[in-house]
Every structure is written in C-alpha cells, then in structure tokens.
Amino acid sequence: MRLYPLKFVPITKYRIWGGDKLNRFVPKKLQMDRLGEIWSISGVEGDLSVVENGELKGRNLKEILEEYKEKLVGKEVWEKFGNEFPLLIKFIDAADDLSVQVHPNDELAQKKHNSFGKSEMWYIMEADKNAALTIGLKEGITKKDYQEYLTTESLEKILNKVKVQKGDAVYIPAGRVHAIGAGIVLAEIQQTSDITYRIYDYNRIDKDGKKRELHTESALGAIDFRPFANIKAEYEPIENQFKSLIDSQYFSTQIFEGNKEFRIQNNACMRIYICTESAAKFITESNTTKLSKYESLVLPAEVSEFTIQPLNDTRLIEVTIP
C-alpha cells in the first residue's frame, strides 16, 4: 500500500488555564471544560496520535513509522531519528495566563531525561486586544538578578512582555523563559518533548485545591541568560505563494495565503501542513483529504506529487525538517 496524506484523531487536554474556543473544532465526545490543548500530531509515548482517515485508520503514528520508515519521514530524517517522530504539533487556547516556564536544550534533556530538548515556535491564530506573550527576561537581567527576584516573589517585574496580534509568529529556543498570556489561541510547532520546568504560577490553585509544583532548581540550570533580539518573525505574505516564516535547526516553516490551486513536486521529503484559516484539499493520485482550520496532516515522503486546492481564502503553514 502506498502512503497518502494522514490526518489524526485530535488528543484533547484539560488545562487549568484552558478555555472553550477549541471545542468548536473537535468532536462532541472530545469536548471538555477548560480545553487548553489539542495535540494534533504526536509521537509522545502515552499520547500517540491515531490515524482517522483512509486504509491506515485506527493505527497509531509509532506503528506506521516503524513499518514505513523513510517512506513516511524521508531517508535523512529516518537515519537521524529512527522510530522517534521528531515533531509535536499542538493548538493552545489560553483563557488565563499560562505559567512562566523554560525548557531544557538537547544536551540537558538527554542528560536528565533521556529525551530531546524542546525548542518551539508559536503562530498566533486569535488574540484579544492587548494580549501579550512573555518572551525572555528584560534586557540586562543576570542570573544573580533572577535569583533575587525569585527569592522575593517579584519575578513578574523582570519578565519581557510582547503584545501580539493574529498572524504574528515567534521562535522560542530551549532555554528562553516564556509564557502565553490570556486571550491568545495559537498553533505550536515543537520538538517531540513534554519536558517543562515551571518557574512561576501566580500562586494559582489547581482543581485539587493545591498549588502546582514549581521546578526552581531545574529551571535555573536550563535558563539561557544571554541577550537576544528579533522576537517576532519578519515576513510579508505573497498571495498564492509559500513564503519563508521561521527556520531553525529543528524545523523550517513557510506560510501560504490565497485561493489558487497549485501542484507540488515532492522531493522525498515529509511535509506537515497546519491549516490556520479556512480549509484546503490535498489531492494525490489515489486520495483526496480535506484539511480544515485547527487541523493538521502529515504528507508522507513517499508521495511524489500532490495538488493543494484552497477553499476560499486559505492560510496554511508548511513544516519540514532540515
């Protein structure tokens, strides 16, 4: 059997800060109060995505990867990652502020957790007026400064806040302090890792009446205190063309906006598509798959050519692994 565009059953996650905006985009049986995350494509053990379309329906991502190998992910990705699917794709609805957190890099994550690190990017799909992200610490803050503000429980004074709007894109390398602010819905592309060090949580109480655990010492060893710039990606969409969005050593992304059908000659490369506006059809020699807003799919490396047929004014993010 030849592979085809694969869609997966959404994995829904309760979060203390979650809202109700994502419930519109999942089956009724998966809806819940405080739906904070949809895991759209996941190779994380315990949360493996299950195919929802075509001949492979009901099989999980790990099984398919083990069977089809480079036919699914491409030769270079297979040789590098083997049976570990390298990316995790999520949608996040922050009705309340998320905790301030940091993720370890590859070296630290391997040493402490036998895992990949966690670098990620966010694409803003919805944002209330004056909604903001926390991205890093204010300029000039040192490790010593950070420890002093942490001790006096005044960490919020040194967090770097960035107002965002629909269409903004941000890269967050491992080691950078960050948090999603209330009133933001976004798509997240990240390394396959679920390791988070929680730094600060506003003394919030969880559903069991307890404060959530903080990971103060682990976070201190993971934070990158070096200065940084260029928080938001600078890009100008070109109608009916893919335009470079964010590139990193872990993933490259392009964005498409338009309504014109076009054909792609694939170069034995796995591509992931995320629909952030309207819908599109992906047409191969033997299959047609519709992708709607708040959905994503895997276009296997084995598919040599395919057509993307936008429906109305469509916006897509294409993700590849360099």
Active site residues: 198
To the nearest 10°, report the CA torsion of 138, 141, 147, 148: -90
CA 36/CA 312 separation, integer angstroms: 28
CA 291/CA 14 separation, integer angstroms: 24
Do the beta carbons of residue 199 and residue 152 sit within 8 Å? no
CA distances from 200 to 111, 216, 219, 289, 318 (A): 24, 9, 10, 42, 33
DSSP category for residue 254? E
- Backbone dihedral region for residue 40 (phi beyond 0: left; psi -120 to 50: alpha; all else: beta): alpha
- If residue 48 lies in a helix (H) or strand (E), which one and from where to where? strand 47-48
Residues with Cβ within 8 Å of 296's Cβ and at least 6 positions away in sequence, in order, are 7, 40, 41, 89, 272, 273, 274, 275
Helices (H), the chain: 61-68, 70-73, 75-81, 106-113, 143-151, 216-222
